[in-house]
Every structure is written in structure tokens, then in C-alpha cells.
Structure 1
Amino acid sequence: MTTGVLLVDDQQLVRAGLRMLCDSTEDIRVVGEAADGEEAVRLVASAAPDVVLMDLRMPGMDGTAATARVLADRPETRVVVLTTFDDDDHLYPALAAGACGFLAKDATPGELLDAVRQAAAGGSPFSGPVLARLVGQATSAWRAERPPEPPPLTAREREVLACVGAGLSNGEIADRMRVGMTTVKTHVGSLMRKTDSPSRVRLAIFAIRHGLAG
């Protein structure tokens, strides 16, 4: 199955690089490019992308406002923020607007492609440092609570869970465990069901709260 992606960034050079990266795969296809938020909203309506890679700082309508508009008009769209600014002042408004993931622009090509695939599959891709910060903040808020007993997990599931808790991407987990991406995705999906975690962030928090993070 091919994932349609809309690239939204006010810098043409950035869009060109992202297009070349996406075009190097067989399962990701660029369906459009936008230089600002207003153009992004229009193209989502006409091109119906599965995933939008959204910059935040753009002239006119910024990425946060565009994300809210896109999801109001087409809720099934998955928006992944790709930005230079990964501080909390940019992170939380983007998440509140409905973004499902948040990557810094220093992500590797493999991490970015993995993020697109995760988002298309219903996941929540985050850069390692961003995920660690989210997990740390949520864990601090819950530290005083007694966590429920974890469900029975296989040794391999515990290994995958430790990697998720450490903020590793699916690609990094596959490399570390020397298994295929499909195997990792299967384990992550099983872990999310077993732990009742609706997102990758919640799964990482679960790992840390139960002392299972790597």
C-alpha cells in the first residue's frame, strides 16, 4: 500500500530534499507541496494525503493553525510536525492542534521515513529527545501513584518495550535487535494492546513507570 504525503514548508530547498527522499522509496508518494498553511489546507482538500509533513514557522498561516484547520476539515489526515524548533512552546500547541507526531529537522532520513510509515499506520512518531521530554514530564506527574501490575509479556516484548521506553524509533529497534521492521511493528502493536496504551508516548511512559525502560 502506498502512502500519499503532502510536504508543507516555506523553503523550496527543504521541500525538494524531502521529495527526493520520499521518491527513493516504493511505498511513499508525494501528492503535493505547499509553501504556507493556507495552501496546505487547500491541497489537503484536493489531494487527500494520508500524511502531512508540516513545518511550523511559515508566513501567513503558520503550521499550528494549519494543522487545526486540516484536521477540522479532514480528521482522518495524519499530521507530523517537522521543525527546527523542538521546544515546549512549539511542541504543545502543535499537539493541541491535533498533530500525531513531532520530529526535529535533524532527524535522519531513515527516522523521517519511519515516521511517515508510523503515522500512516496510526502511530505517533516523535524524535528521541522530544519523546524523552514528554515521557519525563508525564512520569514526574504520576510518580506518586502506584502503577498497576504489568500484563504478562514475553522476553522479546520486554526487549522491545525497553527500547520504546528509551525513545528508540522502530528502525533503531530493528537494527539493535537484528530483526525486520515488520517484526518490530508487530511487537509494538501487541504491546500497545496489552498495556492499553493508545499511543507510543503512553507506551514509553508505561515502560518507565514499571521500570522496564532501557
Structure 2
Amino acid sequence: MAIRLVIADDQAMIRTGLRLVIETAPGIEVVGEAADGRQVLTVARQLRPDVLLMDIAMPGLDGLSAARQLLEDPEPPKIIMLTTFNTDDNLHASLRARVHGFLLKSSPAEQLIEAVRVAAAGGAVIDPAVTPRVIDSFATQPQPIPAPELATLTPRELEVLRLLADGMSNPEIARDLRIGEVTVRTHVGHILRKLSLRDRIHAVVFAYEAGVVRPGRGRDDVRDGSC
């Protein structure tokens, strides 16, 4: 069954360009478009797409506000936010709203298509060019609030969470801790379940907000176990 997609952007040329790119990919069907946040609420709730590709900056009701409302629905679409790298100040807020990813409008076509597939499967995607800015945004956040959920993690799980927040992949964590990749995946699964998190991206957000790690720390600092 094809992935049903809705595109939301206030610029008709961008919607047309995205549609042309996406319609070249097998298994993805563009079922609707929206030109502003209020329209996307109506279109998404009527058509019930699997994935919503939405610009953050739209007139009236912006994309972030629309995403928050849709994600309160019983069966919301997977939402990927489109952003302009130099003007969007809402990356961190959108992650906290639990969207499924971010892409730059300049992203290559194959990256866009893959992101739609990953989101439809329940995964999360952040454009590599956006990731440093997401991490940098934590430097301006208020003092971290201790999270009682951290007490449910074992010492090893807490160590894995720190390394996740430092941007390490499963193979890197396995090498760093001298354990197998299967064991790392098991620890990550336990972390997500215990902290009620959907994916690795939101585990990173949680780690920074809870003060498990702090912006600007290097891997050596993370490995020493201090906060």
C-alpha cells in the first residue's frame, strides 16, 4: 500500500516542486496540499495521510502550532517539518512537540524521499546540516530540570544515554563500552521504554533537558560519568 502524503507550504511553487520530486518515488502518493496552518488541519483530518510534510513558517496558524494540534489527535500523521536553516528558530520547540523530523528545503531529493519512508515506518529523521543547530539551541535553554524517571535507569543504561546524547551511533557506543551492538540496541530499547520516549532523537532531547549532559561537552567528559 502506498504511503499517503500531504504537503503543506504557503508557496505554491515549493508545493509543486515537492510534489514533482516525491511523485518520482514508487510507493508514495501525494493525496493533498495545504497553503497555511488552518488549512492543513482541515486537509489532514479529512484525508488522514500517513505523513505530513510541512513548512514551519506559514501565515495565520504557523506549521509548529498546526503540528502541536494535530499531534493531539488520536491517530495523528507522522510530521516532518521543513525549515529554512538561517531563519527558523523553532527547531528545539518542534522536537519537544514530538514531530518525526526536520529537513531543509535545500535537501537532496533522495534524502527527502527516504525521510518520508522512515517517518511512515515510525522512525525519526533530522537533516545532518540541522543537527548542530539543534544541539546548539540547548545552550540557551533554562537550567536543566532533574527528571525522576532517570532513577529507573541502570548505571549502564544511563551511560548509554549519555553517549547517545553525545551523538554516538550504536557501533561507536559498542566500541566505547566494549560491548556488543546487540547489547547496545537492548539498552537503547530499555531507555526508550523506561523514559516513555519514541526514538533516539527524543532521547537526546531528554538527556539535555534533564541535565544528563550539557552543551559543549566532549566525549571524554561524557565518558567520565560526571554531569
Q: Name the TM-score, length of structure 2 as normaliser.
A: 0.64
Q: CA–CA distance in 1 between the matches of 2:131 and 2:137? A: 10
**Equivalent position of 1:63 in the other structure:** 63
Given residue 126 of structure 1, which amino acid in structure 2 is its aligned partner? I
Q: Is the 8 A contact 1:86 1:130 kept in 2?
A: no
Distance 1:160 1:21 in 2: 36
> Judging changes above 3 Å, is the alpha-carbon distance between structure 1 residues 86 and 66 closer, same or farther for their aligned structure 2 residues?
farther
- Is the CA contact 1:192–1:199 (under 8 Å) kept in the aligned structure 2? no
- Gaps (5+ residues) in structure 1? 151-155, 163-186
Aligned to 2:115: 115
* Matches for 1:36-185 after TM superposition, within 5 Å: 36-85=36-85, 89-135=89-135, 148=158, 158=171
CA contact (8 A) 1:125 1:200 kept: no
- CA distance in 2 between counterparts of 1:46 and 1:11 reads 22
- Evaluate the alpha carbon distance shift between residue 157 and residue 72 of structure 1 in structure 2; reply closer, same or farther with a 3 A threshold: closer
CA RMSD of aligned residues (A): 3.7
Give the deviation of 1:43 after TM superposition: 0.6
Whole-angstrom CA distance in 1 between matches of 2:39 and 2:81: 16
Q: 1:55-96, CA deviations, whole angstroms, 9 ceiling, x for partnerless residues?
A: 011111110111112122344311110111466721122223
Return the alpha-carbon distance in structure 1 between the equivalents of residues 110 and 129 of structure 2.
16
CA contact (8 A) 1:83 1:105 kept: yes
Code of the residue aligned with 1:28 in structure 2: it is: I
Q: CA deviation at 1:33?
A: 0.3
Provide structure 2 residue ranges, at least 5 long, that are not aligned to the other structure: 145-154, 161-168, 176-180, 193-197, 208-212, 214-218
Task: Tell which deviates more after alignment, 34-43 or 57-66.
Answer: 57-66
**Bigger shift: 191-200 or 44-53?**
191-200
CA distance in structure 1 between the aligned counterparts of 2:118 and 2:124, rounded to whole angstroms: 7
Q: CA deviation at 1:193?
A: 4.4
Change (3 A) 1:5 1:117: same
Separation (CA, whole Å) in 2 of partners of 1:136 and 1:193: 29
Deviations 1:18-77 (CA, angstroms, capped at 9, x unpaired)? 111111111111110000011100011111001111101111111011111212234431
- Matched to 1:61, the amino acid is L
Counterparts of 1:157 and 1:7, CA distance in 2: 33
Alignment-mate amino acid for residue 199 of structure 1: D
Instruction: Find out whether 1:22 has 2:22 as its counterpart.
Output: yes
SS in 2 for 1:81: strand
Which structure dedicates a bigger proportion of its chain to helix?
Answer: 1
Contact map agreement 1:123 1:200 (CA 8 A) in 2: no
Give the counterpart letter for 2:39 in structure 1. E
**Residues 87/210 of structure 1: CA separation in 2 closer, same or farther (3 Å cut):** farther
Counterpart of 1:6, as a letter, is: V
Q: What residue is the counterpart of 2:195 in the other structure?
A: none
Considering only CA atoms, is the larger Rg found in Structure 1 or Structure 2? 2
**TM superposition shift of 1:123:** 1.1
Percentage identity across paired residues of the two chains = 33
Partner secondary structure for residue 158 of structure 1: helix
Aligned to 1:178: none
Residues 124, 16 of structure 1: alpha-carbon distance in 2 compared, 3 angstrom cutoff: same
Decide whether the 8 Å contact of 1:192 with 1:203 is kept in 2. no
Is 2:35 the partner of 1:35? yes
